[in-house]
Amino acid sequence: MTYRAEEIEALVRQVVNRVMGEERAHQTGQSSSGKRPLIDADLINQLPPNTTFSVPPNALITPLARQAALERHIQLEESSTSQPTPTTSKPAIAIGADHGGYNLKETLKKMLATTYPDHEVVDCGTHSTDSVDYPDFAYAVAQLVGTGRAWRGIIIDGAGIGSCMAANKVPGVLAAMCYDQATAVNSREHNNANVLTLGAGLIGPNLAQQIVQTWLATEFGGDRHARRVDKIWAIEKRFTK
């Protein structure tokens, strides 16, 4: 028996969808027989390019759908993590981490609450060392900063690199990965960074606290640096109109 190309694609799609459903169900403890929204490549290809698509809660997104979204420049707004918001009028410092940065996040939370009592610390997760995906938490922090709901943001993962990349995709964010006090000063004084990323696998808790304190205390230098940072914002505007 021979199959047409579209039939083969449909069969492949069914297998991928089933595997994705079983994998996500295993991760979440939910039965794969439960009805959950499915986002596949066919759906993504029907959307206008250069748009944002709000993914329904608890939806399954196939790998082909993610690839189609990248190719069509469609941003998938996922609600896989709940995003807390500031609850007081105090300036907010948003903090988040993946499983690799969880322990350091908890240490920094205590330091921030003690050292900066005039600021509200907003914990965007994760809340355990169970394996999670760092882009989800980088986005949660960066979104608060980019929309002005948080004054500054701090994100921790194993190396600090991936979270920095993810955060810098959010409009209104200038994220910098820092690994010592010198880079912390530079990212603020020269670049006016509003999100800091740290690599828990690269630095210890004492150095991390020093970096955070230095980063929060350093003012933007302005002058010639302002002109250069304005050019960074101008680049973002080219792609967000």
User: Which amino acid does the sequence have at 50?
Assistant: N
The CA-atom distances, in angstroms, between 178 and each of 34, 82, 194, 201, 212 are: 43, 27, 12, 13, 9
119 catalytically annotated = no
Candidates 99, 127, 190, 225; catalytic one: 190
**So what's the pLDDT on residue 115?**
97
**So what's the pLDDT on residue 57?**
66
Report the alpha-carbon distance of residue 171 to residue 87 in Å, rounded.
23
Pairing verdict, β 60-61 and 120-123? unpaired
CATH of region 92-224: 3.40.1400.10
Cβ atoms within 10 Å, residue 10: 13
Mean pLDDT (the chain) is 85
Contacts of 7 (CB under 8 A, 6+ apart): none
**Sequence ranges of the chain with CATH classification 3.40.1400.10:** 92-224
Q: Are the C-beta atoms of 152 and 94 separated by less than 8 Å?
A: yes
Report the alpha-carbon distance of residue 146 to residue 13 in Å, rounded.
36
**So what's the pLDDT on residue 29?**
40
**So what's the pLDDT on residue 69?**
84
Going by the DSSP 8-state scheme, the letter that residue 47 receives in this structure is S
pLDDT tens across the length of the chain (241 residues): 555 555 555 555 554 454 444 444 434 344 344 456 788 888 888 888 888 887 776 677 887 888 888 888 888 776 545 567 788 788 999 999 999 999 999 999 999 999 999 999 999 999 999 999 999 999 999 999 999 999 999 999 999 999 999 999 999 999 999 999 999 999 999 999 999 999 999 999 999 999 999 999 999 999 999 999 999 999 998 887 6
**So what's the pLDDT on residue 64?**
84
